[in-house]
Amino acid sequence: MSNKRKAIAVLVIGVIMFAAIALIVFFLAELPAPLLKVRSEDQRITVSWNIIKKADGYSVYRKSDNNWIRIGRLSGNCTTRYTDKKVNAAEEYEYMVQGYSSFRKCKKSKSVSCVCRLKTPEIRLISRRKMKWNAVPGAEKYIILIKKADKWINMRKTNRTYCCGKFQHNNCYSVMAEKGRCRSRFDETYSDRYFRGKKYRSKKVIAEGDSITVPTYSWAYRTANLYGMSIKNMAVDSSTVTMNYKNPGLSLFYRAKTQGYEGDCEMLWFFAGTNDYDHDLEIGKLNDTGGSTYYGAWNYIISKAKHKTPGAKIVIITPLERGRYHDNYYKYGYITKNKAGYALLDYCNASKNIAKKYGCYLYDSKKANIVNEKTIYEYMPDKLHPSSLLHIKISDDFAEYLKQNVL
C-alpha cells in the first residue's frame, strides 16, 4: 500500500473514531436541570420552568412522606407548566421536575416548596347593617377589612360568613379567609358606593357562555351582585357558539333553540367564542343561517333573543386572549391560526360584526387589555381559565362599561 493510501486510511479511521466519540459524548451527556418557579392561587399550585432543549417531555413530582411521587408526565418540551389541583388549603407542598429523553439522561431540578393559598372569599352583600360572603374551604376565620387613607385595616374577625355592624355608604370594605398563618387574597375593588341602588335591584339579567362564565365566583355573578341585580346563568362548560353535533347541549345555538330566553329579563350578556377557535370551527359569512358556522349560529341566537326578550339590552363580549392552542402552551390565540385557518382575533371580529348588525352593545376584551402576553401568567394559571383575581378585574371593568354605555 502506498504512503498516500495509508494516509487516507488513517484519516478515514480518525474521522470515524472522532464521530463515534462525539456520538458517545452526546448520548452520555446529561440534559440540564429545569429551573422552577411556583405560585399558589385559588387553592391550587402551579409549577413552571424553562424549556430544556432536546428533552422529549417532563415528569413532575411531589414529595409525600419523604418519597417523590410522580403526579404528571407532560409530552413535548414546550409544555413547561403544571397545575396541581389535588391540594389542601394552608398546607405546604414540595415539587421537583425532571426532563426525559429517549437517548439521554436528564438532571433533576432543585425542589421548590409552596403553601397552598386559600380561595378568595366572594362578597355577596354589603348593606348598611350587614356584610355577607361565601364559605371558603379550609378557612377557620374571616377577617373583615376597611379601607382608610388608601390602606386596608383589620376591623374584626369572625368564624361566620357574615358580619353585622354599621357599614357606611362612602367606605370600601372587604374580607379575607384565614387558616393559621395562611391568608387568602381579598377583593380590593368590591364596593357598593356607586353601583347599588333601588333602580337596579329589580333588574334581571341572563348570562350565557362557556366555562369562563360558569363558576359562582365568575365575572357575571360578581357584576350582577355589584348592581344588586338577579341573574340566571345559562353557561355550560366547554360550550361553543356553533352547533356541537356530538354533544348538542354544549352549544349556545342549541340552548337558544331548545331553552330560549325569559321574556322579563332586561339584559343578556353573551361571552363565548374561545372554544369555537379551539375546536377549529368554521366562521362562515355574515348572513349565514343555521348552526354549522359561527356567523350562522350567532344570527340565530341574537334573532331569538330579540324575539323572546323585546326591549332587553344585549351585550356581546369578545373572547379573551388565551395562551394556548389545543395543548401547545406557547401559542397565543389572537395571532395563532387554528386548523380551519382562523386566529382567535377572527372570531372576535365576527362577534363585533354581529353586534353591529343587530345593534347590540359590544364589550371588546382585546381593547380592555386586561389579559395580554405580560399578564397571562398571573391571571390564567393554565393559560385558558381565569383566576379569581382575573374574574374580579373583568367584573370591575365590565361593570364600569355598563355604567358608562348601557345603564
In this prediction, residue 33 has a pLDDT band, given cuts at 50, 70 and 90, of very high
CATH number of 36-115: 2.60.40.10
In this prediction, residue 193 has a pLDDT band, given cuts at 50, 70 and 90, of very low
Rounded alpha-carbon distances, angstroms, from residue 379 to 3, 175, 366, 376: 72, 20, 15, 5
Q: What is residue 194's predicted lDDT score, i.e. its pLDDT?
A: 43
43 neighbors 118 (Cβ within 8 angstroms): yes
152 backbone dihedrals φ, ψ, rounded to 5°: -90, 130
Amino acid at the residue 50: N
Give the separation between CA 126 and CA 196, rounded to whole angstroms: 9
Give the separation between CA 404 and CA 80, rounded to whole angstroms: 41
SS3 of 42-86: CCCEEEEECCCCCCCEEEEEEEECCEEEEEEEEECCCCCEEEECC
Count Cβ atoms below 10 Å from residue 260 Cβ, excluding itself: 13
Amino acid at the residue 186: F
Give the separation between CA 56 and CA 82, rounded to whole angstroms: 16
Was domain 195-406 assigned CATH 3.40.50.1110? Answer: yes
Pinpoint the alpha helices (H) of 64-192: none
Domain ranges of the chain: 36-115, 118-193, 195-406
Q: What is residue 191's predicted lDDT score, i.e. its pLDDT?
A: 64
Q: What is residue 76's predicted lDDT score, i.e. its pLDDT?
A: 81
- pLDDT (tens digit, 9 = 90+) per residue, 323-367? 876 666 556 778 889 999 999 999 999 999 999 999 999 999 999
- pLDDT (tens digit, 9 = 90+) per residue, 89-127? 899 999 999 999 887 889 999 999 999 999 999 888 887
Q: Is the pLDDT of residue 192 over 60?
A: no
Give the separation between CA 376 and CA 329, rounded to whole angstroms: 11
Give the separation between CA 123 and CA 131, rounded to whole angstroms: 8
Intrachain domains 36-115 and 118-193 with the same fold: yes
Which is nearest to 358 in space by CA: 314, 309, 405?
314
CATH architecture under which domain 118-193 falls: Sandwich (2.60)
The model's pTM: 0.76
23 backbone dihedrals φ, ψ, rounded to 5°: -65, -40
Q: What is residue 115's predicted lDDT score, i.e. its pLDDT?
A: 93
